[in-house]
Structure 1
Amino acid sequence: MSEVKGDDEDKIAQSTQPGENSAKLPPEDGGEAAQPERCATDVPKNVEEAETQADLPDDNEQPRTTETSGNSVESDVLETAEEAGAQADLPDDAEQLREPQGAENVGNSTATVKVVLVPEGHVMTVAFAIGLSIQELKRHLASELRVPPDVLRISVDGRAVEEQQSLMELGVRPHGSTRMEMSSTNPTVHPLRPVRLPEHDSMPDVITVRVQTDDGAFQEVVVEIERARQRKAFLGGYRHRLTGTQYHHAAVQTLPRRRADRGVVVFSRDTQTVELKRQAQQCPVTVSTQMTGIGWHVPPLLSPVQVICLQSFARRWLAQQIVGQLRRQRDRRLAWLDLQKRRMTEEKEEQLRDRHQRWLNPQRREDFNLLYHALEKWRCEEEQQINSTLRGAERKAALCSLLEQEMQFIAAIGRHRIIVQNNNYDKTIRNFLDKCAAPHRWRAADGRLIEMDSQHTVRARQLRDLYNSVSQSPADQEQRVYVLMTLKHTVKEHECQLTRDIVDLIDRETDLMARRVKEASLEGLRKRISTLFLQYVKTPAFNPEVAKLLQVPQNPSQLKNNMFFCRNCQHYLCSADFSPATTDRLCGRCRDCSHVDNIARSRIDFSCYKNILGRLRADEQRLKEDAKIPFLLQVEDVRYLVDVVWGSRSAIHAGSNLYNLVFVRWESKKDWSPWNCILLSKEETSAHLEVHDVHKVYETTFICRIKHKHMLARRHFSQIPIMAKYLDSRSAAALDNQLVCKPVTTAREKHVADPTLASAQ
């Protein structure tokens, strides 16, 4: 809807297009632009105004006129050049301007001002009172362009205009039009740009509306259209599907009809609201009464003896409930203790069975270390007994016999080790080939396991099956010949020295089998064929899937950067052949050399220390997911802590069973570290974990002894760079002050040692 305001306060309802803005008179008109005395034929129009109006939209885009209450309103937006020429011949109204009232009306009359923005060339059209000054025009335009008024400069026909001059002094006639140029004195900081480009809006800025007054005369009113800052909300109606025109409901555009006042109050808040009051009352003494009523019989009062009897029964029932609850808690506690005891007993028995099984049938390197450790323990006991009971030649003879027995045990362990190595070698080769032939697997979004075979996995599977057939003992001669021919055709696909050697060996075995040579004589030849074919399978050029499983990289540059020198065996080995250690003591010795040295001299069993480290890591990861220090320690570090720092004994009851000792936190609120730990047995661990403040539970002597062990551990691990960063500066300074050994000198020794003081005496 568009609303036109005049002195006659007539409202003109117009049907608008979608997104059309409301129109109203400018505030400079003062509501006096539409006078009943002035007729539409008395307003002169010049040719320039006609040209300006000619640029406005066509008649089909103008707002529609509606008839309300018998008053016809005719909206004339455009005027042609012929009408302007016809109105130019009308008599001049200079006589009317001579009157004082006419002069005041002329000052309040509006004119169309077209402002050209230099140098962009955009045109702004605004309706402005001709009695106002150029300064007021600058303020109005500055608010529209959002720039300071001081930077605007207005000129007419190339000459600057003073701010005190008005539009009427510049020759602008009422309801006429003029053209001005406006530029900015500081175009870099404040450029002149229109807020809304003309191509984005097809609605004119100023329109002329012809209004019919009460006496039947017509009067033309210049109306400036204000741009709405936001899209008009659709409040109900109809929309044309083809043109998009919106037709609003009349109830939406008009105020609701007011009902006539009947003089009687129909709606009252007093009749609809209930007043509530709340007030609490309390008797001075809480009492209760019993009284007989209809349908209710009150028995006579009880005697004191009966009351005492009832009270005793009630107290007995309450006591039974409490005792029953305590009994159930005791039974649960005893059952839990019994369960823990059985669990620990079963765990110990399982450890003994496992250790016994490892003694009887060792399969891993740790199992053989356990055998050598038991052998060393037996040798020390026998040697100690010989030294304590025998002397002279008998002692030497007993020691020689002991040495021969030790050599026999070592030889027996070595023979069993060779057998286990052969079996483990076959298992290792088969696991290696199975990994190469395994299909690619991944987990789908729905949780299903998806497998996919590629050409490389199919090739690896064929080579694996062929290797298994070649390695097995043949059932008959024909089957062996068929396997050898298949192998021969397979390796002939690639011509190299390795394949030529395999083909020569196959031809040799075929010739010997044709001559009916015994199977035992062919065993060595068949092992050579299996070994060469395994080398063929491990070559990435023949089996591409094997490249990702080889320990030695095929790229020489990677091999060079990953090789280290072993000082014992004088070999260059990859980093995987060296055991990781926190300290620098074992970095120059490979795993095999360390194992041989342990068998020859120390014969230490690291399985117990490995179990302690594994349990420590599991417990700390359960308490804190980002625990770091337990995962930086190695088995050798745990052995130093257990044997050197804590003496291989529990801190409380001095238990020496290494398979029953565990490391826990000394102060439960701090992270585990070698300087915040205590070595206890599994039975003592549960009681220590319930202690919140160790200073209130343990004695001062015991705490000092534990602190001393922490100081020793801190001194040892502070020399390791990766562990030193977890020590704060205050702990390091205190460590230096406590561990530096200084000689204690008495006063007498000091006087004697100081020659200056001695001469003075």
Structure 2
Amino acid sequence: MSQETSDKEEFQNNKDVIEVETKSGRQIIVKYYLESTKKLLFTNSYPSNYLVASIKKNIERFFNIPFVNIILKLGDAVLNNEDKIGDFQTDNFGVLEITLVFSNVHLKLEPEDVAQIYQHVPPVLPDVLTVQVPTEDRGVYNVVVEVENKCIYKPNLGGYENTSTGIEYHNAYSQTGPYLLKKNGLVLAHRDSQTPSTKNKTINLAMSKATQVTHIPQGGDKILIPRPYETAEERAVRLDIPGKVRFIQKCYRAWKLKKKVKELSLEYKKRMSKQTQDDLQEQIREELRFKKDLTNKAFPMDAEDFDMLYSMIERWKRAEIKRISQEYCGPAKIVEFQVLLDKEIELLHSIDKVRQTISDDIETRKEVRFFKSIGMPIRWNSEYKNLPIEMDTLETQKGRDYFQMYKSIGDKNLSVDEKVDLYTKIKKYFENHKCPTVVELNKLIDRMCTLLARGMSKSHYLTVEHMIEKLMFHHFQLPECNEGVTSRLNKLKEKSMENKLVCCRSCQKLKSMDSFLINARMSKTNICNACQCLNKSEDPCIDFTPYKYILKQVKKYEAEHHSNTSVAFIVTVSDVFYIMDKFWHGKSALSECNDISKLRLVRWNVNEQWSPWNCLPLTVDEGKAHLRIKILRDVYDEHFMSEVFNKLALAKIQFKQLIFVENCLEKN
């Protein structure tokens, strides 16, 4: 025992052993084994009151293993998180052997991994050693030694990295710890112990003496062997600099050629892909246009749709007349013409019936729009913060009352008694009005009440009811009868007519420019749109749908080529029809294709902007080929070009008004 005590004191004096614990001490040494390999992972010591949960947290912190996946076993028993480490039975040396198990099979921990972690991570876990001390009386004596690591680690303050060698240089420093004083009786806190003493010593030999040394070769020395003399011409031949330059140029040109070919290949693929997409989109647009035309023919809604139907009937009639004239003669021909006339009358009657229905719907929508405009509150934005203001006047309230009265007349769900009461209220409302419209309205109301009282069917009084609606609407429009309801609309209308007005030669009325149909061949306005519709029956109906599409394609092409001053944005659909019908007779200039849906008006001279005197009709494929021509005389013969020039000169005469407009656009 005396030898053991002396050994322990010797360890404490030399500072090799920081702390010695035996079985009776407060510290408990824990050795961790892996269940699968039964290998020792690491060793640590804990106080006796340390919880198992704290041990798991330490393992989670140092080895990056989730807390929930850590299981500690002592033998076959699983340790709970609330257990203390001192509650378990240790061996004679105060060592507790615990098996480390992971609930997740993918988690693994080997002794090599622990050693690597100890190497790169500052070791905060103290090392525990079992030292065997030989004695004379007891033989070998085992002493448990816990070594504390008091190293001072450098803080990470950034640094630099050598890109060629990969060595990192940190901007950090480390100071040594305090000096451990040895109690040997020496006084170190003194001036003599802190002041170094200087000494003079000769290190170089005198000039009069010589020294002989043996040369020791180094690894970096370079041994030069003399060679024969080489002239400049021989050196130039040996180096062959021009040949090497030619080789470099050849390689560079080959690389440049490959790069250019690759770029052109990518550009070719890109353009081919774009061309395919454009063709697909063009095909889709053609299909949609065809479907739209079929829909407009089956369900016409505006004047253009009905003109399309009338044009179809006219073409069908001409084809039938031609067929009958070729196949029949005599009485059979007369009978066939009679059948054709009956079919034409039937078709026109059905179209007029649909047109009248749509016209009535449009008229009803106009009337509803009128009542909504007179009943809408006045709105404007104030000068203060641009706040919206809405004012409901007596006139707008009266306008809404008129609208309710007008809607009640057209209500089809009213019974006979309710209709009689309604007409009685309307007659009472107009009893103070003495205008001719009200007098006629009262007569119609009395007749309507008489028909309802006698139980007549709806077909007998439907016309009278419709006349009452029209007279009421006309009465509400009169400024002298509607109590100022339409005064605001009349003021807005007068304000819009402050601009230049034009007198129609047919109806002799002053109208704005919006009421006239204008084309590029006109020098002054003549007849308004209303009079044009009345005189339209004298001229055959023209289907402007394909010509509208031709004009749309022309504008699209000019916009894509940035021709913003082109007169294509000024001409109308009637001008395109005039060009196609009068100059080119509705045929292609090359193939004489007369299918107007397949024709396009393309530039004659590709380098100039589109105009009526710089265009010709071609099919889609012909137009694409024509636009790729750079010199026209190399492709077309003199006869064809002379015909084209004559027609273009005629177009320039007919559209002479556009020449001045084009010059103004180019100047601006």
Q: Aligned equivalents of 1:449 and 1:388: distance in 2?
A: 77
1:636: which partner in 2? Answer: 574
- How many residues were matched structurally? 419
Say whether residues 1:659 and 2:597 are aligned partners. Answer: yes
1:465: which partner in 2? Answer: 404
Q: 1:429 to 1:712 in 2, by over 3 A?
A: same
Does the Cα contact within 8 Å between 2:602 and 2:617 map onto a contact in 1? Answer: yes
What's the offset of the Cα at 1:430? 2.3
Match 2:651 to one of 699, 709, 713: 713
Match 1:404 to one of 325, 330, 342: 342
Q: Secondary structure at the match of 2:543?
A: coil
What's the offset of the Cα at 1:429? 2.3
Q: Aligned equivalents of 2:370 and 2:392: distance in 1?
A: 18
1:361: which partner in 2? Answer: 299
Say whether residues 1:342 and 2:280 are aligned partners. Answer: yes
1:452: which partner in 2? Answer: 390
Q: 1:711 to 1:539 in 2, by over 3 A?
A: same
Does the Cα contact within 8 Å between 1:650 and 1:681 map onto a contact in 2? Answer: yes
What's the offset of the Cα at 1:535? 0.5
Q: 1:500 to 1:344 in 2, by over 3 A?
A: same
**Structure 1 residue ranges without an equivalent (≥5):** 1-291, 295-310, 729-761
Q: Secondary structure at the match of 1:452?
A: strand
Superposed CA deviations along residues 497-520 of structure 1, whole A, max 9, x for unmatched, are: 333443454455456555655544
1:532: which partner in 2? Answer: 471
Q: Secondary structure at the match of 1:473?
A: coil
Does the Cα contact within 8 Å between 2:554 and 2:602 map onto a contact in 1? Answer: yes
Superposed CA deviations along residues 510-532 of structure 1, whole A, max 9, x for unmatched, are: 56555655544433332222111
What's the offset of the Cα at 1:357? 1.7
Match 1:380 to one of 304, 311, 318: 318
Q: Secondary structure at the match of 2:542?
A: coil
Q: Aligned equivalents of 2:388 and 2:566: distance in 1?
A: 36
**Higher deviation after alignment, 445-454 or 357-366:** 445-454
What's the offset of the Cα at 1:604? 2.4
Does the Cα contact within 8 Å between 1:674 and 1:714 map onto a contact in 2? Answer: yes
Match 1:564 to one of 504, 523, 538: 504
Structure 2 matches for 1:67-466, cutoff 5 A? 328-440=266-378, 450=388, 452-455=390-393, 456-466=395-405
Which amino acid is 2:441 matched to? I
Superposed CA deviations along residues 79-124 of structure 1, whole A, max 9, x for unmatched, are: xxxxxxxxxxxxxxxxxxxxxxxxxxxxxxxxxxxxxxxxxxxxxx
Q: 1:704 to 1:519 in 2, by over 3 A?
A: closer
Superposed CA deviations along residues 333-375 of structure 1, whole A, max 9, x for unmatched, are: 3322222112121222122212222222222221121112111
What's the offset of the Cα at 1:641? 0.9
Q: Aligned equivalents of 1:366 and 1:350: distance in 2?
A: 18
Q: Secondary structure at the match of 1:602?
A: coil
Q: Aligned equivalents of 2:374 and 2:631: distance in 1?
A: 56
Which amino acid is 2:364 matched to? D
Q: Secondary structure at the match of 1:649?
A: coil
Superposed CA deviations along residues 451-504 of structure 1, whole A, max 9, x for unmatched, are: 734524443333223212222224334654564465446545655333344345
Q: Secondary structure at the match of 2:504?
A: strand
TM-score between the two structures when normalised by the length of structure 2: 0.50
Which amino acid is 1:470 matched to? I
2:36: which partner in 1? Answer: none
TM-score between the two structures when normalised by the length of structure 1: 0.45
Q: Aligned equivalents of 1:482 and 1:449: distance in 2?
A: 45
Q: 1:399 to 1:434 in 2, by over 3 A?
A: same
Q: Aligned equivalents of 1:447 and 1:385: distance in 2?
A: 75
Q: Aligned equivalents of 2:635 and 2:491: distance in 1?
A: 53
Does the Cα contact within 8 Å between 1:612 and 1:661 map onto a contact in 2? Answer: yes
Percent of aligned positions with the same letter in both sequences?
Answer: 21
Which amino acid is 2:280 matched to? R
1:645: which partner in 2? Answer: 583
Q: CA RMSD in A?
A: 5.2
Q: Secondary structure at the match of 1:679?
A: strand
What's the offset of the Cα at 1:533? 0.9
Q: Aligned equivalents of 1:554 and 1:444: distance in 2?
A: 24
Q: 1:407 to 1:715 in 2, by over 3 A?
A: same
Q: Secondary structure at the match of 1:648?
A: coil
Q: Aligned equivalents of 2:317 and 2:632: distance in 1?
A: 45
Which amino acid is 2:322 matched to? Q
Does the Cα contact within 8 Å between 1:436 and 1:460 map onto a contact in 2? Answer: yes
Q: Aligned equivalents of 1:401 and 1:514: distance in 2?
A: 48
Does the Cα contact within 8 Å between 1:598 and 1:604 map onto a contact in 2? Answer: no
Q: Aligned equivalents of 1:580 and 1:588: distance in 2?
A: 9
Q: 1:687 to 1:491 in 2, by over 3 A?
A: farther
What's the offset of the Cα at 1:317? 9.9
Superposed CA deviations along residues 288-347 of structure 1, whole A, max 9, x for unmatched, are: xxxx979xxxxxxxxxxxxxxxx9999999998777655544443332222211212122
Q: Aligned equivalents of 1:621 and 1:444: distance in 2?
A: 41
Q: Aligned equivalents of 1:358 and 1:461: distance in 2?
A: 36
Superposed CA deviations along residues 640-686 of structure 1, whole A, max 9, x for unmatched, are: 21122233234455544323434344446655432233434455666
Q: Aligned equivalents of 1:378 and 1:348: distance in 2?
A: 24
Q: 1:641 to 1:448 in 2, by over 3 A?
A: farther
Superposed CA deviations along residues 45-99 of structure 1, whole A, max 9, x for unmatched, are: xxxxxxxxxxxxxxxxxxxxxxxxxxxxxxxxxxxxxxxxxxxxxxxxxxxxxxx
Does the Cα contact within 8 Å between 1:666 and 1:676 map onto a contact in 2? Answer: yes
Superposed CA deviations along residues 596-654 of structure 1, whole A, max 9, x for unmatched, are: 76556633222322343455456657877974844654443322211222332344555
2:435: which partner in 1? Answer: 496
Q: 1:667 to 1:320 in 2, by over 3 A?
A: closer
Q: Aligned equivalents of 2:509 and 2:489: distance in 1?
A: 17
What's the offset of the Cα at 1:713? 0.7
Does the Cα contact within 8 Å between 2:563 and 2:609 map onto a contact in 1? Answer: no
1:674: which partner in 2? Answer: 612
Q: Aligned equivalents of 2:450 and 2:378: distance in 1?
A: 42
Q: 1:496 to 1:667 in 2, by over 3 A?
A: same
Q: 1:624 to 1:434 in 2, by over 3 A?
A: farther
Does the Cα contact within 8 Å between 2:520 and 2:655 map onto a contact in 1? Answer: no
Say whether residues 1:609 and 2:547 are aligned partners. Answer: yes
Does the Cα contact within 8 Å between 1:537 and 1:543 map onto a contact in 2? Answer: no
